Amino acid sequence: MILCKDVSYKYEDADKGNSKLAVDHVTFEVKKGEFLVILGRNGSGKSTIAKHMNALLIPTGGKVYVENFDTCDEKNIWNIRNKAGMVFQNPDNQIVATIVEEDVAFGPENLGVLPEEIRLRVDDCLKRVNMQEYKRYAPHLLSGGQKQRVAIAGVLAMRPDCIIFDESTAMLDPSGRREVMNTIKEINGKYNMTVILITHYMEEAVEANRIIVMDEGKIIMEGTPRNIFSQVGKMKDIGLDVPQMTELAYELRANGVNIRSDILTIDEMVSELCRLK
């Protein structure tokens, strides 16, 4: 679906004449239908690499291919944006219309989709994010989680194959976060949409098929959630975290309890503890 080949990106600061390598020779592939999470500290390059995946940024070294379209070639930009959509952190910055359904229609309208087709897409996409009852609402009357789901519907209406979520849950309260995560899981599982999620919440990363950990512009770890999070010491050294249950298992092991080190969820912890008891 998406191939990043030896990608580098250098930010130039014209005033001071210095530059910074935000992404440093990164290679990886995102497979169709995959749920990939990218973790990393602030400034590790994860948002920069994400912006390469729908040609918001063009690599200063290496190549990015979205379904075989080279992002360096300007002719491909609209094909790429049709394939890969993006949802950002702040819900208030990405809603353009004054009525929910008009906001969802904005993308397809700009693609020149016929009005009858737009109507069908808008209704279908609002249903997919469970917001059909709100189609005539003004967006400012919605909660953060609801606004983010409208933003997701707006991207879905452009019929992409892949959606990149750049810390899309960071500004939400617990129920908003849960709503958006459920929607993300559903579009991945039920509609087979490729999902790339950037997050600081380790509990969200547990849901992924694969995790990539970035630090100082490089990929330093890659694997399944179980594999990545069982390396508690290493994750903490990088300045990241592990899910609460993994940390508890780690602490118990440090105190001589013979418990699995790769526990991720509450259910796994409960069954392990019941076994030990």
Partner 1 sequence: MSIKIENLTHIYMKNSPFEKKALDDVNIEIKDGEFVALIGHTGSGKSTLIQHINGLLKPDSGKIIVDGVDITEKKINLSFIRKKIGLVFQYPEYQLFEETIEKDIAFGPKNLGLSDDDINNRVKRAMNIVGLKYEEYKDRSPFDLSGGQKRRVAIAGVVAMEPRVLILDEPTAGLDPKGRDDILGEIKSLQKEYKLTIILVSHSMEDVAKLADRIIVMHNGRCILDGSPVQVFKEIDTLESVGLAVPQVTYMVRKLKHEGINISEDIFTIEQAKEEILRLLNKG
Give yes or no for residue 274 binding partner 1 (CB under 8 A). Answer: yes
Helix-helix angle 115-128:144-156, to 10 degrees: 140
How many CA atoms within 13 Å lie on the side-chain side of 141? 8
What is the Cα–Cα distance from 63 to 80, expressed in whole angstroms? 14
Interaction between residue 217 and partner 1 (CB under 8 A): no
CB distance 85 to 164 below 8 Å: yes
Q: Torsions phi, psi of 66, nearest 5?
A: -110, 110
Nearer to partner 1, 91 or 154 (CB): 91
Question: Which of 6, 11, 31, 43 touches partner 1 by CB under 8 A?
Answer: 43
261 part of the interface to partner 1, by CB under 8 A: no
Q: Report which residue type is found at 173.
A: D
d(CA 264, CA 246): 5
Q: Which residue has the tokens 């849960």?
A: 178
Amino acid 5 reads: K
Pick 14 or 114: Cβ nearer partner 1? 14
Shortest reach from residue 19's CB to partner 1, in Å = 13
Binding piece for partner 1, criterion CB under 8 A, among 156-164, 180-188, 195-203, 224-232: 195-203
Which residue number, 67 or 268, has a Cβ lying nearer to partner 1? Answer: 268
Of residues 175 through 194, those in contact with partner 1 by CB under 8 A are 175-177
Structure tokens at 53: 């995946």
Q: Is 92 in the site for partner 1 (CB under 8 A)?
A: no
In the shown chain, the binding pattern of residues 71 to 90 toward partner 1, with x for contact by CB under 8 A and - for none, equals ------------------x-
What is the DSSP code string of 3-16?
A: EEEEEEEEEEETTT
> Is there binding between residue 220 and partner 1 (CB under 8 A)?
no
Segment (H or E) for 266: helix 266-276
269: contact with partner 1 by CB under 8 A = yes
Beta-ladder partners of 35 = 195
**Contact between 132 and partner 1 (CB under 8 A)?**
no
Instruction: Name the site residues for partner 1 (rule: CB under 8 A).
Output: 40-43, 89, 143-145, 167, 170-177, 200, 202-203, 239-241, 243-245, 247-248, 251-252, 255, 257, 266-267, 269-270, 273-274, 276-277
